[in-house]
Amino acid sequence: MMRDKVHIEDLRLETTIGPDSWNQINPQQCYLTMEMVTDFSKAAKNDELTHTLNYAVICREVGKFVGSRTDWGSLGNLSKCVTGFVMSNFAGVDSLKLKLQTRTGHIRSDDISCLIEENRRKSEEISIRGYDLLHISNLKLLTLIGVFPFERLQKQYVRLGLELPWPKQVVSHASVGSLIEKVVEHVEHSKFLTVEALAESVAKVISSDSYFTQHGDLPIGVKVIKLNAITATSGVGVSCVRSVNELKNLKKPLILPEVGEYETTNGKPEVILHNGLSVAPSDAWNTAYLAFGSNVGDRLQNIRTAIELLNQRESIKVKSTSSLFESEPMYFKDQESFLNGCLKIQTSLSPHKLLECCKEIEYDELKRVKKFDNGPRTIDLDIILFLNKAGEPVLIDDEKLTIPHKRLLERSFVLEPLCELVPPNFVHPLTAEPLIDHLSQLYKKGNDEDRLLNLVPVGLSGSTVNFLKFQHVTEEEVFGSMVGRGSKAATLLMAIVNTTPDSFSDGGKNYLDINKQLSYVKEICSQTLRLHEKLIIDVGGCSTRPNSPQPSEEEELRRVIPTIQAIKSCSDLPSDKVIISVDTYRSNVAQQAINAGASIVNDISGGSFDPMMFSVIAANPNVAYVLSHTRGDIGTMTKLTNYEEGQDSKACEYIFDKICRTSETVTTRAIGRELAERYFAAINNGVARWQIIMDPGLGFAKNGNQNLQIIRQLPLLKNFSCIWENGDYVSFRNLPWLVGPSRKKFIGKITKEDNPSDRDFATGAVITSCIGFGADIVRVHNAQDCAKAVKVADALYKQLP
């Protein structure tokens, strides 16, 4: 096997090889590099030149040979002639790799070269390609390329390298000037999203040149480097090799169209883009995600009206809504704050027709007045994403519409609600990164305006909607290094006011004595509102302890309605700080309590005891609903604490990124699934997501150890999500959670206290832990003392004053 080589690098030669950079026929300086395989073992052994290739002689003779003609016609012709001269005149060259380069062959490239290989022995050890190569390197061009919104706003530099085959039996290679002009024209007028698509499209353009259509199935190589993509590098990119036959079968690469290229005209169907392919909309239902925002007038009513108007269209079905968020205005700051969120819809409309529909709702039906960009608005409906009937993303970029929305990735008030509606593995169509990762990156920037408060409506003060405000805390923020940097929303206190004679804790204390009940409420408020801005009073007239006898509906109404009316009408209580809740699982009691002034319905059954409960909540859109987990009924729940894996339905796929399938998480998964079933039932019966507060139901169909597990794993429940077999997705992200451990039996078992009222001190410790694990509301009997524990927990875990 020959291992010895003689090298000549960058031998300068000057001759005419065709047009120069300015398309003039003048002599050009060329650079010749040769790698010659030989055997110089004898020369090395005897230290003599007799048995080796004399590179000085080769350089001199090649120089004379090149100078023997005034015009070689082309770089390729000179390369082949020099190769033949060396192989004919120097017998010691067994094989040759030759590179001949010009740096002045074209104004667009400072490196055009020919690479030729020849083998005298034709041995198996040295394999030679059936073609030579023309290299065109360092083509620096401006083009619109990239997936990020800011990359779509201006062109950027890319550097191309082309590797073009040249059959050995053919004298001349493809025309350098012609190929470069074709590539320049294509690249500088393209709008590709990825360098992969750009590289393959350039290969396609080259393959269409007549030179390649005449010379068989040759491989074409293209390399594309983005010069400014990552600042820590000189460039990043891709390369590919495609045969001419492969490129024949490849559809002609499409460039994102200019406006008007695919609009509906003369009744012809509009054509939309999906990953560079034309797709005509059909009668099938597509999926779209809309962002909404309002900061003029009754913001929530504007949003509800817009949703109703969308649903009234036969071509649109609103499938789900996000939570409701409040955000400070961007761009133009001197205006009111916005209510924001997202919708998932199904539609038979094309993207442009859907846009027309949204604008009709904005301007014609809700009378939006646009005085300037990013100004106040009654309603704003933006198309964020659009998926065809197969669930594939549709890409549009024209003067009327851009999908995905070009500012999606810079707006937490769009990304956050959108992440409630799509699974965590849903990727942005352009960046190919999960949306949830983009949201995390946005939060890591540390901008306070990116951390949003989600709002739950709790009644009216005159014509103004009152809201409870919460902030999502991720599992990583609770368990990881971000403890104390999550939610900045104060934990809410819910004080229990029982009007029953048989409550497990304080039964009969104020039974049917309105004056005593009102005095008790006043006392609670005077103590707790020193430390807290708001207080929820939860009025209950029906004991829900296991196996307790249940009063009639009439009796429950007789107990709770007068108390609610008295609290609501009491001038000594600050109406803007005291929120009334009714603790009931009966729909009629809930409705009458709402009429009397209740703003929250606290239902321990999650709507399972009374099928009309969800209809009542849906009919009262300014009322919040606490959806609790339980099993069975009051008489059977204590027997239904088996959460073994066999009990865990396979009807959904869990998305617990951080959960291992341990015995302790079986209960958490099962409770999450069962709560998701009740959540779906509520949503399908018209309850808005932003009305819902979740409750894991401590003590209801759970034993003591399971209650403790639920508290420890509350972050997992708060971040629970699953996909049902039919493709529906549910996420608990951003939903506020109420936890009610107060005086429960499992606490008494730990502290060995049989009397529930003796458990207040331990209750304070438990609710502090609950807040540390992410509870948003804690429900307690002794509100005065627990208010202090809540305040300390907020200072400890949320860094609130």
The catalytic residue positions are 368, 377, 380, 382
| Residue type present at position 306 | A
Burial 189-219 (b: 16+ CB within 10 A, else e): ebbbbbbebbbbbbbbbbbebebbeebeebb
CA end-to-end distance (rounded Å), the chain? 81
Interatomic CA distance for residues 191 and 255, integer angstroms: 6
Interatomic CA distance for residues 533 and 538, integer angstroms: 17
Look at residue 672 and give its three-state secondary structure: helix
- Phi and psi of 145, rounded to 5°? -145, 135
Interatomic CA distance for residues 675 and 598, integer angstroms: 24
210-218 long-range contacts, CB within 8 A, separation 24+: 211/173, 211/174, 211/175, 212/174, 212/244, 213/244, 215/167, 215/170, 216/167, 216/244, 217/243, 217/244, 217/245, 218/131, 218/165, 218/167, 218/243, 218/244
Interatomic CA distance for residues 138 and 103, integer angstroms: 10
Interatomic CA distance for residues 184 and 189, integer angstroms: 8
Q: For residue 473, which of 115, 700, 732 has the smallest C-alpha distance?
A: 732
Interatomic CA distance for residues 155 and 375, integer angstroms: 29
Structure tokens at 89: 């005149």
CB atoms within 10 A of CB 655: 17
Whether 717 and 667 have beta carbons less than 8 Å apart is answered as no
Structure tokens at 60: 């001199």
Interatomic CA distance for residues 745 and 752, integer angstroms: 10
Please provide the DSSP assignment of 679-748 as one string: HHHHHHTT--GGGEEEE--TTSS--HHHHHHHHHTHHHHHT-EEEETTS-EEE-TT--BEE--TT-HHHH
Interatomic CA distance for residues 641 and 631, integer angstroms: 8
Look at residue 569 and give its three-state secondary structure: helix
Structure tokens at 624: 């919040």
Structure tokens at 756: 């529930």
Q: For residue 436, which of 455, 460, 415, 464 has the smallest C-alpha distance?
A: 415
Count how many Cα atoms sit within 13 Å of the Cα of residue 166 in the half-sphere of its side chain. Answer: 25
Interatomic CA distance for residues 151 and 239, integer angstroms: 21
Interatomic CA distance for residues 257 and 397, integer angstroms: 7
Tell me the C-alpha to C-alpha distance, in Å, between residue 565 and each of 516, 528, 659. Answer: 14, 21, 46
Q: For residue 642, which of 671, 675, 680 has the smallest C-alpha distance?
A: 671
- Phi and psi of 780, rounded to 5°? -140, 160
Whether 395 and 388 have beta carbons less than 8 Å apart is answered as no
Coarse DSSP helix, strand, coil percentages of the chain, rounded to the nearest 5 percent: 35, 25, 40
| Residue type present at position 120 | R
